[in-house]
Structure 1
């Protein structure tokens, strides 16, 4: 095809084509005169085309007359009918059908060739511009002495295959390494395979070479967007077989998933044609209870934009979530998921190395396909009080805690920035109240910083403001001298930042906020390898990142794996992870990429790609690209199935799938596939016996029995517990501290089942540990205290609840338990054998509980607050208001 050929002019210059169009127009006109309005309109279009002097206008009118959808669709359907014969006569109708078919074929070919020309011009422009952009990018990286991962791959490839030193390098590799193990080989891209293949071929030619192990699962290849090609697994397997006599070992036994989960996996993938030769999986844990559930599709809520958002006011988003969920398309589904998690945690038993224990939040993983609906599920978890952690791509600098520190740092370089100072003061770093800010605003002074200093000097500052002034003064003195990371580190230490934020935010946000604080601190070193020695330079760098894309901006922090919080991840982010309970959400969508992207044809075994094609829109697809498009569609379907396989096989015991209803038909969504599998197994909404509930647990080893065998396998701290820095300690106080610590770690919802870990952390062994453990268990099992320790008898419970006192210091409540309409604050006095006698009114314990009551009244308004002490004999001593 000539990309510059004047196709329309050539078609128009054909006397036969013009004559056929004119004759066709006359026949259509006759039909139009006899009552067929559409034929009259089409005749007029053909006559206008023949009268037009402009080639583009001519072609547009002809296409509108011959093809549907305004000239872009298929030819109009024409067939012999009695009515047509009556209008045109039998011969006339036959001539009309022949002319219409001939003209449609001729101009369909012209239209196709024009589309090919357009695609050629687009591709030429794209790759010309792309090459120029890549050239500039390489120059920029060279100027800055940077290489990215693709550069590393390409340079290694050149080093072992094209450079003068290739043979020497391959010889050195062969001499140094005796074994090669490549894990996750299904995620290998063609260039990486070429590097490994060059090494193997050089070794084969030398008659030597390392032992090669390739490990992978083509069903888990989900990184095509990074160039991964699962077909290379077969290519590599055949190469090693034919050239090295390699043995192939296949594994279809899962040591992770329960049989109930694998039953559904086998049903989904066994007969769908996506996986050739799929081998049904078996579970190595046949006795493990499991279940797959399908939540009913959630409706899409109708949003009434005229309804005012009453009751919102100016709520503090750190301490109180919005009263209602967002009206987004996934809000209802997210709410159902959060509710189901609340029903599971603390009430169902999961397997923990052979021991059944109540499920914790960290046993739950939520997998979402795309990040765009992450906000809805985060909002639902916050509203339900479910702690969660997530690694939001590019979202660190947009979080409230990050904004607090950006405001604080801006103030330290511009002390006249009143708004930044106000935000910093209201943040948990200082926990100043609205009244404190109003006091500053009502004072005299050119700036708020001057006013804050003046009211502190005058003795009119609250304890929180006095503390803020003292800390700010010390940080201002060093802000221009310390590197940014050192300054932030000092701020974190001086202000006890992490503990204050953990005390200020609701439990659902504690883990993610803590992770983000640490991530912000690390950012000071990560940005350009810490080469921003000044605060202004660091803040300018943050502004640049805020204005960039999500890929460029720093991600949110990842919480410690030991934190008790639900993990909210994308399917790609969960690769290689597992959890007892997995929710696969937003499963009733079927994305089809119909936007601009580059298709690459790189046959397995070839040294380089054979074809590139820039696809614009589906409507502009051309026949010459059809094989490449079909191949890309097949690969996309395979990758879609792979992602579903990865998501389902993250679940060890329980898999819950949810989705939101859609007005568009989507028969092949993940939700529908699993629904079909469940129906085939006999139950539309579930399969498997399910997890035991706490009250139904029977048989099996207890925590103590299962853990006793390993108690002596690990060394313990031999120093006396609590001896460091505690000169006033006595054996009695140390005993009380041990029991207190055990109650914190054995009481649900975050009870720890691993006694070996508990013993090592407690730092004692033998009789001291056993005696403290027996007392703690006696307290937890006391009949009169079950409403505080049995998850089935309370709405929720928290251990170690921190809060900020009026003087800016931290306080901590041992245990807070919410029953139906009242909230109990429990304080452990485990150093006391009994508290059955009355306490004097001025007892420090009573004063302490009154402070707890006041704090709890502010944290949970609307609930009746009750306070009590618990001694080591399990007696509850309630303290009246």
Structure 2
């Protein structure tokens, strides 16, 4: 059974061996037959997209259409998908080699030999490869650094902070003055900049007319008149309004507006008008309570409110926001310049930079494009529906038949050069610039260039009942929209700009065995659970009990023939279940429910790391440690679980005259236990403060967590493997920031962001081999995955979000429109501050795209299951349930049965006596002592040999040839070692690269070791003299030679700790009768004979010879010491043991 990118099974979704009998076989055959035509495969859910990719790759290699495997590139959407494709391609290629014969076999064998040369990776890594091959033409730093989304987000925040502080220091363009006049501040625009910077590909952000100005006088007059009317109404209204929303507004508005004493100022006037820009409702019976109003009167007042809103407040606010928009966008452009400059200065490229720089490289350099077209002759792209316009531009420029065409929409791919696989019904990443419009444009290009569009409809994943239900839900028909006329319920019969047409799924799964867990079921939440929090908790508990019961009772799951043949049993396993939510907010609730019942699980797309209690404790302790004068931080740390100091102890300390500082003395009059607890805590915090100043920050943080016992505490909690693993992951996150976080204060600030979920991360298990687990994830993470049993859970959070932006790519230029919100927090965007002209129509256009994407999201959710789909529905308030559109298609009698109570598994209790505790503590201490005792010694071979007693290394000089003093060298002294390093480097280069410029290399080497560059000529001359020697000529003419060869050998002479000796051999070469080993010495002889000086090194070179013989398994016939200063050569005789 294959394994998908999340650890689940993919075997059910792969075509069976005899899929040639399938409904769409003739379409599938085109993939491997039409190799000279570009193809777009529209593969519906479960039809084998990855299999199609692999088969196309094999066909190109088998037939020789792709003559070299390194000319093929396969691009995927994620790194995990790339890893899966790489694995499946390798397996398929090995199988194809075994089955092929003749020339096909030779081609496939050649491809298998060099399979690592085939690029299989994400579009971003592919673009990075293009840029690294041609950095000069791309105008990027030669050693640029790729930064991921999290690092880019931090850099963007840093850029905004730097830009904002720069405005305070100096604002020559008058941004602050203009914003102040419009009632805005720089702080209001931070979130807007985050959104704006996500779209560097937008070519124009159209601005409203410059002469735009609201009718201040008319708005002010209308406000005064309506406020006077409200003031007259207020005394007549009932005191209790019940569920009526208009009465409280009528009573409140005159009082609120009275606090604005400068309505002559446009910003205050508009702030007041914004208070009226809201929808309200009436309850007629509430108006009738005082007898002053009838039901018709209530309706008239509602009409008056709406009339003032539509004729006075909203027109003025629209003009005001459009006027603001121009000022805001001017600032956005300037802030983006600062952000771009910051990346450029640091040599960093984010994901968008990689794409845009690659597109510019290919667009503007025909010669470079021709080079890469010859380099990559065949391009295959998976999940093409998730491709954004810049990615599409890179792809089509690379395969264009005309290397001079600069508009990717006009490019026509070379025949057979492009293979795209995607499913437009699963295009769900518009918020990441992946646009159905881009997909449709690519489809048109393929068709116009003589390519093919292949439709795959046979689903090999799901059972017949699931497929029939999916077709019933999504195929064209009526009603196509819900009762509000907004939400799309079905795919259209023909493609539109917003939505593709529906392709009916056909049955292709070969059943091997039946099972109890099958079909489409409803999980019903009774009416007593009215609050969404209650509903989610009840649902999570029922799901957990259902899975627990299925596992305990051995319930079966339908399996395919392929799965049974691979040994997969029918009984349900934890990884047969998947829980899918529309949003990420409640994932942890399902994880906790599964944990209660002892069910292994894995959360993706959540924030398990951020919810870690030990992370909060670590943050509290670090915050106290770096702020010794902050009593609140200290008290928070002392009261926490990390130290557990009681409130009574803190009160007693303060009452006795103590102060809340870990540097202060603890009063002597406290209870001994209280004194001990406070002294221990303050002592630790003083130690932690010292660590944070003397150790690398990540190491200090890890040490503090260990000292506090946080890793052990995390591991001891339920689900401890994930708790402890997540804490370790947090430390690794800190370690990855070593180039960004320079102070302890920054480290604590970053930890605070993790704790407050400003930067979210999944948890991770500390176990290397995690058991099969239930997968819990949000809908955007689940695409491409599958499971036999899928729960569509979390019946809350469904509403139509406010439109934040609209990107129009329908014309020749990409146009961007951005709504500016401010004052928002974790749970909302805040109030609307500014927007472009005609925003209402633009926003409605974007809503149509969003509604179409919601339909595609439901399609993705409905097609994940292989055997059973279980969909949650609520008795009340089901309209807030993202799955409520499935309700008409669910059998009311097909509810998921309640499995009844299941007691959470009890951990086996162990009683430990005090004696056993003491014994174990002593054992731990003993093991720790043993652990610090070294089991081996590591030394330099030269150091080891020179330390041997003279008697063990007698000198036997066989040959001594002395020469005159060669080109002058620095006197032995403080730079003797450095000079030797330089000469060795030059001799290494001389043998490895005979044509190297030794003087340039010498100058660089001398500078690196801190010696005068003026010695470069002398050093190079000395090296050349050695290169003219007889021994050098012998080496050059030898059968084989190597320079600066590192070695490592074990020397065990009967001592308790054997010694590992490490060294490097300067030169070794092989002649017909054996190896010759040469060691260069840069010593000045100072009147001594070469034999005398060589005697000091005899043991060293003999040891080197022994090492070479042990490593190579061949004898060394000569061992020579060469004195570079004089040209003297001394042969060292080998000593027989």
TM-score interval, smaller chain: 0.5 to 0.7
Evaluate the alpha carbon distance shift between residue 661 and residue 447 of structure 1 in structure 2; reply closer, same or farther with a 3 A threshold: same
Task: Deviation per CA, 1:101-157: give whole Å up to 9, x if none.
Answer: xxxx9x999999878756753654553443344334334444555443233333323
CA distance in 1, matches of 2:770, 2:783: 19
CA distance in 1, matches of 2:910, 2:648: 22
Q: Report the counterpart of residue 524 of structure 2 in structure 1.
A: 296
Please state how far the C-alpha of 1:393 moved relative to its aligned partner. 5.2
Structure 1 residue 671 and structure 2 residue 862: aligned?
no
Give 1:123-522 correspondences, 5 Å limit. Answer: 123-142=325-344, 145-161=347-363, 163=364, 166-201=365-400, 211-243=417-449, 245-271=450-476, 272-274=490-492, 275-287=500-512, 289=515, 290-299=518-527, 301=529, 328=534, 330-347=536-553, 348-350=555-557, 353-354=563-564, 355-356=568-569, 358-374=571-587, 376-378=589-591, 380-381=593-594, 386=599, 388-391=601-604, 396-409=609-622, 419=635, 422=638, 426-427=641-642, 480-488=693-701, 498=711, 500-502=713-715, 504-506=716-718, 509-522=719-732
CA contact (8 A) 1:452 1:465 kept: no
Please state how far the C-alpha of 1:658 moved relative to its aligned partner. 0.9
CA distance in 2, matches of 1:217, 1:202: 26
Task: Deviation per CA, 1:433-468: give whole Å up to 9, x if none.
Answer: 989999x9899999998999999xx99999999999
Task: Deviation per CA, 1:473-518: give whole Å up to 9, x if none.
Answer: 998886543323334555677888655532x212xx3344133222
Secondary structure of the corresponding residue to residue 600 of structure 1 = strand
Give 1:538-557 correspondences, 5 Å limit. Answer: 538-543=747-752, 550=757, 552-557=758-763
CA distance in 1, matches of 2:311, 2:667: 85
- Worse-superposed segment, 206-215 or 332-341: 206-215
CA distance in 2, matches of 1:622, 1:471: 57
Evaluate the alpha carbon distance shift between residue 501 and residue 467 of structure 1 in structure 2; reply closer, same or farther with a 3 A threshold: farther
CA contact (8 A) 1:294 1:658 kept: yes
CA distance in 2, matches of 1:134, 1:401: 38
Please state how far the C-alpha of 1:406 moved relative to its aligned partner. 2.7
Please state how far the C-alpha of 1:654 moved relative to its aligned partner. 2.3
Secondary structure of the corresponding residue to residue 520 of structure 2 = strand
Please state how far the C-alpha of 1:158 moved relative to its aligned partner. 2.4
Secondary structure of the corresponding residue to residue 299 of structure 1 = coil
Evaluate the alpha carbon distance shift between residue 281 and residue 402 of structure 1 in structure 2; reply closer, same or farther with a 3 A threshold: farther
Structure 1 residue 558 and structure 2 residue 745: aligned?
no
CA distance in 2, matches of 1:338, 1:173: 53
- Worse-superposed segment, 227-236 or 394-403: 394-403
CA contact (8 A) 2:609 2:727 kept: no
Please state how far the C-alpha of 1:332 moved relative to its aligned partner. 3.5
Evaluate the alpha carbon distance shift between residue 664 and residue 795 of structure 1 in structure 2; reply closer, same or farther with a 3 A threshold: closer
CA contact (8 A) 1:177 1:210 kept: no
Please state how far the C-alpha of 1:636 moved relative to its aligned partner. 1.4
CA distance in 2, matches of 1:511, 1:661: 38
CA contact (8 A) 1:515 1:556 kept: no
Please state how far the C-alpha of 1:228 moved relative to its aligned partner. 0.7
Secondary structure of the corresponding residue to residue 228 of structure 1 = coil
Secondary structure of the corresponding residue to residue 890 of structure 2 = helix
CA distance in 1, matches of 2:312, 2:672: 89
Q: Rg larger in 1 or in 2?
A: 2
Task: Deviation per CA, 1:513-561: give whole Å up to 9, x if none.
Answer: 133222212112122x4554664542243346657xx4x5241423478
Structure 1 residue 585 and structure 2 residue 793: aligned?
yes
CA distance in 1, matches of 2:415, 2:570: 50
Evaluate the alpha carbon distance shift between residue 510 and residue 279 of structure 1 in structure 2; reply closer, same or farther with a 3 A threshold: same
The gaps in structure 2 that reach 5 residues or longer are 1-207, 220-262, 265-275, 281-306, 406-412, 477-489, 493-499, 822-830, 921-1137
Evaluate the alpha carbon distance shift between residue 123 and residue 475 of structure 1 in structure 2; reply closer, same or farther with a 3 A threshold: closer
CA distance in 2, matches of 1:9, 1:423: 56
CA contact (8 A) 1:188 1:229 kept: yes
Structure 1 residue 649 and structure 2 residue 863: aligned?
yes
CA contact (8 A) 1:581 1:653 kept: yes
Q: Report the counterpart of residue 1053 of structure 2 in structure 1.
A: none
Please state how far the C-alpha of 1:188 moved relative to its aligned partner. 0.9
CA contact (8 A) 2:213 2:323 kept: no
CA contact (8 A) 1:453 1:469 kept: no
Evaluate the alpha carbon distance shift between residue 486 and residue 211 of structure 1 in structure 2; reply closer, same or farther with a 3 A threshold: same
Task: Deviation per CA, 1:195-218: give whole Å up to 9, x if none.
Answer: 222222255679968721211111
Give 1:694-713 correspondences, 5 Å limit. Answer: none
CA distance in 1, matches of 2:834, 2:692: 58
Please state how far the C-alpha of 1:592 moved relative to its aligned partner. 0.9
Secondary structure of the corresponding residue to residue 213 of structure 1 = strand
Please state how far the C-alpha of 1:630 moved relative to its aligned partner. 4.8
State the TM-score, normalized to the length of structure 1. Answer: 0.53
CA distance in 2, matches of 1:433, 1:406: 17
Secondary structure of the corresponding residue to residue 867 of structure 2 = strand
Evaluate the alpha carbon distance shift between residue 10 and residue 406 of structure 1 in structure 2; reply closer, same or farther with a 3 A threshold: closer
Structure 1 residue 601 and structure 2 residue 808: aligned?
yes
Task: Deviation per CA, 1:561-610: give whole Å up to 9, x if none.
Answer: 834543331111222333332211134664212x351212212xx55325
Secondary structure of the corresponding residue to residue 370 of structure 1 = coil
CA contact (8 A) 2:580 2:792 kept: yes
Count the aligned residue pairs: 577
CA contact (8 A) 1:262 1:283 kept: no
Q: Report the counterpart of residue 817 of structure 2 in structure 1.
A: 612
CA distance in 1, matches of 2:702, 2:278: 67
CA contact (8 A) 1:387 1:510 kept: no
CA contact (8 A) 2:779 2:861 kept: yes
CA RMSD of aligned residues (A): 5.7
CA distance in 2, matches of 1:530, 1:611: 34
CA contact (8 A) 1:615 1:621 kept: yes
Evaluate the alpha carbon distance shift between residue 433 and residue 284 of structure 1 in structure 2; reply closer, same or farther with a 3 A threshold: farther
Evaluate the alpha carbon distance shift between residue 264 and residue 11 of structure 1 in structure 2; reply closer, same or farther with a 3 A threshold: same
CA distance in 2, matches of 1:625, 1:115: 12
Evaluate the alpha carbon distance shift between residue 463 and residue 11 of structure 1 in structure 2; reply closer, same or farther with a 3 A threshold: closer
Secondary structure of the corresponding residue to residue 168 of structure 1 = helix
Evaluate the alpha carbon distance shift between residue 480 and residue 10 of structure 1 in structure 2; reply closer, same or farther with a 3 A threshold: closer
CA distance in 1, matches of 2:625, 2:317: 61
Residue number among 836, 854, 869 corresponding to 1:640 in the alignment: 854
CA distance in 1, matches of 2:378, 2:369: 14
CA contact (8 A) 1:394 1:554 kept: yes
Evaluate the alpha carbon distance shift between residue 9 and residue 344 of structure 1 in structure 2; reply closer, same or farther with a 3 A threshold: closer
CA distance in 1, matches of 2:752, 2:433: 32
Evaluate the alpha carbon distance shift between residue 71 and residue 346 of structure 1 in structure 2; reply closer, same or farther with a 3 A threshold: closer
Please state how far the C-alpha of 1:219 moved relative to its aligned partner. 1.3
Please state how far the C-alpha of 1:672 moved relative to its aligned partner. 3.7
Secondary structure of the corresponding residue to residue 356 of structure 1 = coil
Give 1:33-182 correspondences, 5 Å limit. Answer: 120-121=322-323, 123-142=325-344, 145-161=347-363, 163=364, 166-182=365-381
